[in-house]
Structure 1
């Protein structure tokens, strides 16, 4: 696919992610409500690219896009694309009709442990071939919404009885083996709420990675806050963690205090120190961070911090903020398509210039890419293209 075509597809996918899609309760809908990770979403495949699209939140309910049957009996997303008006607001643009596919329900979802715990309560499929689990489905800050991350919905799936508060290493290893064998899963993402310990969840990551690698050869990304002792990076690596995610989410100091009141106690410079320490262990391009665009950071700030991260060898995974029902930010607007495309273009150009590519990561959200269109903007011209 030519660079222009990739970026055009990137804009169309961004449209769907920032506006959501009206989903008229398609039978067998495998979308995700609440919890950690891409919540209130479902996976759609468009032109061979899998994307997580909001379907359950208020944003999706008023979307100009609708998932419906096409003339051939398949599925399509149709609606009128937005365009930037003279005053900077979004107005009606071209009509868009995209053929889509939905991944089938994975076979491992039909299994249970010897104790009768459904495998899907332990780990879920993200996109087509990524297994993900939140090891600790709670956080030291969550119960106090004045201190919790304002977008967080980590305990929603726990309250609904759809998951466990703590997944053991043996449980995750059992599900991972089945997911690889039955559904061709190619990577595992381990996340966690932050426990009340100095390691910030690194111990959970190391113990679980070791158990999984003893059962199946599966690339693993771990995601946690920076541990106080940098020795944990080597411990995680030695246990079987292949790449690491430590998530800034937002970058401007005032925005961090407002959106991440508790987590912002670990300031931007502390994160930069932690990134350098982690890259020294995991290697350039094997450490990443989420940047949630649309929560108040300017495009210039997002691009400037991305430049710093890229220089350190850290992949800045820029994602449009999507409000989740039941959180303090459930009514917060998503960013505009034009804002996202401008940030994607600038960051993508810098990634390409530094030869830092999402596809080169061993595992993780950036490698999966389903929550962002950034990877479509990082690629240059095809070989041999003038």
Structure 2
């Protein structure tokens, strides 16, 4: 798969001739997507009926006259060109049909992401969700209000779901994230309890945990001791002006504090087992984002570069100039970050679990990182 094609579908999305049964709507981000296998790899892509790309009969087709990342669709009669890539929707997992003994649907507790990742938000509320504090790309509490999930997932519930997801659907890793709590651990200790329960139910199943930098960094050791294999501490941008504009609550946590938490994470989990999101399209200078990604990689932190795409239920429309990056900008940034990661020997395939290991939301794997 060429980087240009992977970037084009990340921004322009795809049409689908048939249903895409596994999808993500709302939540903590980064996007509303359908989950597909593209060229044999997991890909989380916008499903857009105006896209110049079409998934049909197991292939990815491109509208004739549309180059990668350019052009438009909408003609009454369209001609389609085969891109050379296989493409198919990820099947609805069987564990979605089950419920716990106390009547909670499994899909309210955890969801399939990509092709083989079980993802859960263990606490679906956040102290930073007041309108003046909320991250403008996040809708973590909207899915709770819609009844699609539960406020707090209990460890024994997640253990039950994980066992079924592995047994029935071949899940190979777990991602646990959480809304930020008031405690000094910022919610990490409940995540640790959930990790321990899942590891007892399915020994050897890799788990990534995602938390805000805790005030008490000892909480990171508790996550490792519970059995977590890798760690995500997501900053989204290294530009303080961007942070204040897009995530006013999280921006009160200094970048120095993030660096302390990343360093402690690398000490505990190892080089290339700690990652952070960097969102391209929030207004940060692309060259500065690439330089920041290199700084992170030098620390042993994998910079997971993803494009901004507004999702339902967020406040993104309140930010001036909020729009996805141009495909050529995303391709350039992705290629440069990937080249630096390859030179350092930091590959997503060496991550034990997590967003970078999955890779479905980023074009970095298509760029060789």
Relative to the length of structure 2, the TM-score reads 0.91
Answering whether residue 12 of structure 2 is matched by residue 19 of structure 1, we say yes
Equivalent in 205, 211, 216 of residue 229 of structure 1: 216
Q: In the aligned structure 2, how far is the partner of 1:276 from the partner of 1:174?
A: 34
Cα distance in 1 for partners of 2:31, 2:108 equals: 15
- Which of 252, 255, 265 is 1:265 aligned to? 252
Q: Is the alpha carbon distance of 1:258 and 1:28 closer, same or farther for their aligned partners in structure 2, counting shifts above 3 Å?
A: closer
- CA shift for structure 1 position 92: 6.7
Number of positions where the alignment pairs a residue of Structure 1 with one of Structure 2: 357
Alpha-carbon separation, structure 2, partners of 1:203 and 1:108:
27
Is the Cα–Cα contact under 8 Å of residues 38 and 52 in structure 1 kept in the other structure?
no
The aligned runs of 1:181-200 (5 Å cut-off) are 181-200=167-186
Aligned to 1:383: none
Partner of 2:324: 334
> Hey, what's the Cα distance between the residues in 1 that align with 2:15 and 2:368?
29
Q: 1:108 to 1:83 in 2, by over 3 A?
A: closer
Q: Distance in 2 between matches of 1:302 and 1:39?
A: 20
Deviates more, 1:196-205 or 1:94-103: 94-103
Q: Assess if the C-alpha contact under 8 Å between 2:117 and 2:175 holds in 1.
A: yes
Partner of 1:42: 34
Give the secondary-structure state (helix, strand or coil) at the position aligned to 1:147.
Answer: coil
Name the CA shift for 1:211/1:148 in 2 (closer, same or farther; >3 Å).
same
Is 151-160 or 236-245 further displaced after alignment?
Answer: 151-160
Which position in structure 1 is the counterpart of 2:367? Answer: 377
Q: Secondary structure in 1 aligned to 2:5?
A: helix
1:169 and 2:159 aligned: no
Aligned equivalents of 1:371 and 1:35: distance in 2? 15
Specify whether residues 75 and 161 from structure 1 end up closer, same or farther in structure 2 by C-alpha distance, changes over 3 A only: farther
**How much has 1:81 moved relative to structure 2?**
4.2
**Which residue is 2:139 aligned to?**
153
Match runs of 1:135-150 below 5 Å: 135-142=122-129, 144-150=130-136
Determine the structure 2 residue equivalent to 1:215.
Answer: 201
1:204 to 1:345, Cα distance in 2 relative to 1, 3 A: same
Structure 1 residues without counterparts, runs of 5 or longer: 1-5, 85-89, 380-386
Task: Return the match for 2:95 from 74, 84, 108.
Answer: 108
CA distance in 2, matches of 1:256, 1:49: 32
Is residue 2:340 matched to residue 1:354?
no
Aligned counterparts of 2:362 and 2:20: Cα–Cα separation in 1 = 24
Could you tell me how far apart the structure 2 residues matched to 1:28 and 1:257 are? Answer: 36
**CA separation of 1:81/1:315 partners in 2, compared to 1, >3 Å: closer, same or farther?**
farther
Shift of 1:63: 3.2
In 2 relative to 1, CA 206–46 (structure 1 residues): closer, same or farther, beyond 3 Å?
Answer: same
Q: 1:75 to 1:307 in 2, by over 3 A?
A: closer
- C-alpha separation in 2, matches of 1:208 and 1:307: 33
Stretch moving more, 277-286 or 38-47: 38-47
1:51 paired residue among 43, 47, 58: 43
CA–CA separation in structure 2 for the residues paired with 1:75 and 1:378 = 22
Q: Deviations over 1:160-193 (max 9, x none)?
A: 1111011011111110011111111110000111
